[in-house]
Amino acid sequence: MTLDAARRRPLKVGLYLPTFDQPWVQTSAPRWGDLLDAARHAEAVGFDSLWVPDHLHIRDDAGEHLGVWEGWSLLAALAAVTDRVELGSLVVCTAFRNPALLAKMVDTVDEISGGRFVLGLGAGWHEPEFRAFGYPFDHRVARFAEALTIIAGLLRQGHMDFEGTYFQVHDCELRPRGPRPQGPPILVGAEGPRMLCLAAQHADAWGRDFDRVNPDLVPYSAEDLAAWGPRVDAACAEVGRDPTTLERTAAVFVDLPGATGREGWNALAGSSEELAEGLRTYAHAGFTHVQLWLEPSTLAGIDAFAPVLELLDRA
């Protein structure tokens, strides 16, 4: 498939790479070789992007510890072994790294990728990993706001002074710069009003998480997806931004035929035609990019989804 064919799609389609144990489907955290094979195969069949989570320590509802690989190391490696696909973090927790250092890391990964990186950022939510690694869990949105100010400022201006309650930088400069003078695009994962306003103020794109569906509406329906528009638009209006300049993205569970173990996860499911139509619903609702967590998350799963990409390319 050519790049021209990919551009005929109504929206970009990315693949989420689970980097942790998944006991609900009896799957252990993939080894690097498995992730490498999946990344190269996804690029070959025509996915537009690859996305990696940022977790350090995961405990499930039963208190069981799930193994997980560190995301930034994987992103740097994937940047070096892929050629075409965009690479994104879904999403980086700003609490886990000093924001100025994170901006430096972002420029470096963007350099390795040749300008294919998308920086997804969030405040974090999984308290056990904060506690396990010694990061404060209080004032997460306030801490995120300061971190985002520093990261966006450094990437877009290259130099910054900032004195905040939680973070400070003095005469901080990014040098050398990556392939894009203003750094890669920034995506902010947000749901509540404060986070949505921060996305509207600083980000190039807003991202909806996998399980964020609206009560009393059919998940992934046109009504469910359309309900997000007024919230994002209102956040833009509050900060004086044209809402058409903020891209909308969404993470989506997709259960392929024969998938097991994810009952109740509100996954998009059905035939290739039904999956393609479901993704077109996202495009009609104004979403420009989706990140898909396939089940099964295997090479066979990627192959099973390939016909959906072909159907979308005919749109």
Let me know if residue 160 belongs to a domain. Answer: yes
Q: How confident is the model at residue 315 (pLDDT cuts 50, 70, 90)?
A: low
Element (H, E) at 109: helix 99-113
The strand pairing partners of 186, in sequence order, are 119
Let me know if residue 309 belongs to a domain. Answer: no
Residue showing tokens 């900032």:
162
For residue 7, the model assigns a pLDDT of 57
Let me know if residue 228 belongs to a domain. Answer: yes
CATH code for the domain in which residue 210 is found = 3.20.20.30
Element (H, E) at 170: strand 168-173
- In terms of C-beta density within 10 A (0-12 exposed, 13-18 middle, 19 or more buried), how is residue 194 classed? middle
For residue 1, the model assigns a pLDDT of 39
Let me know if residue 297 belongs to a domain. Answer: no
For residue 6, the model assigns a pLDDT of 46
Domain count, the chain: 1
**How confident is the model over 140-188, as pLDDT tens digits?**
999 999 999 999 999 999 999 999 999 999 999 999 999 999 999 999 9
Contact 218, 260 (CB under 8 A): no
Residue 5 reports pLDDT greater than 80: no
* Domain span including residue 144: 3-61+71-289
**How confident is the model over 259-299, as pLDDT tens digits?**
887 777 889 999 999 999 999 999 999 999 999 999 999 99
Start-to-end Cα distance in the chain: 15
Contact 169, 219 (CB under 8 A): no
Let me know if residue 312 belongs to a domain. Answer: no
Contact 250, 278 (CB under 8 A): no
Let me know if residue 66 belongs to a domain. Answer: no
Element (H, E) at 41: helix 32-45
Residue 2 reports pLDDT greater than 80: no
Q: How confident is the model at residue 116 (pLDDT cuts 50, 70, 90)?
A: very high
Entry pTM: 0.95
Let me know if residue 188 belongs to a domain. Answer: yes
